[in-house]
Amino acid sequence: TLEKLGRIARFRGEKEKARGYFESARQIFEEALAKNAEHNSWDESHGPAYIAEIDAALGRKGDAIREGRKAVELWPLKRNAVLAPDVAIIVAIAYMWSGERDAALHQLAEVAKSPASSSPLPACPGLSAGELKLNPVWDELRNDPRFDKIVAEAAKPIKLE
C-alpha cells in the first residue's frame, strides 16, 4: 500500500518520493472515509490512524495529533481485539514522527499490556517483542528505557482469563 511505500522511502531518505506516496495515500484514505462514516471495515477503521501517520510524515504535527486522538477514540483497545491494537500502533508512529515521544510510548505500552497485541493480519504484524526490536520504524524510540520495558511486556505470554 502507498503508506507502506512512503515509510520505505522515508527510511531510505528519499524525501520527495516519500512525500508523493504519503500524499497519494492520504487522498485514498480520505475518499474511503467519506464513503463510510461508520468506520467498520479495515480501511475505514485504520483510515484516521493512517491519516495521522501521513500527516506526521508530511510535517503536519497538529493535524497528526488531532487525527491520532480521533482514531484511538473511534477504536479503543476494548472495541476490537484485532483492529484496535493496530490502530493504536499506527497512532504511536504518528505521535513519534510528530515529536510526541511520551504519547507514542504511552500508546505502545497500552497495546503491550493488552492480550490483543498480536494481529493475525499480515499487513499489521501487531506488537510482538520481535516487531519492536527489529522494525526500523521504532528506531527513534530504542534509546529510551521505557521502550525496553514495552519490549519486555510484549515478550510476556498472553494471560487467558
Mean pLDDT of 118-141: 76
Chain centroid to Cα 23, Å, comes to 17
pLDDT digits 0-9 by tens, 45-74: 788 999 999 999 999 999 999 999 999 998
**Structure confidence at residue 23 (pLDDT):** 97
Q: What is the CA radius of gyration of the chain?
A: 15
**2-155: CATH number:** 1.25.40
| 81 neighbors 116 (Cβ within 8 angstroms) | yes
Q: What is the pLDDT of residue 33?
A: 82
The domain spans of the chain are: 2-155
Under 8 Å CB-to-CB from 112, ≥6 apart: which residues? 127, 150, 153, 154
Residue 122 confidence (pLDDT): 44
In whole angstroms, give the CA distance from residue 4 to residue 11: 11
- The CA distance from 111 to 153, in Å, is 10
Query: What local confidence, expressed as pLDDT, does residue 81 receive?
Result: 79
> CB 5: neighbour CB atoms within 10 A?
16
Rounded CA-CA distance 51/93 in Å is 11
pLDDT at residue 121 tops 50: no
pTM of the model: 0.87
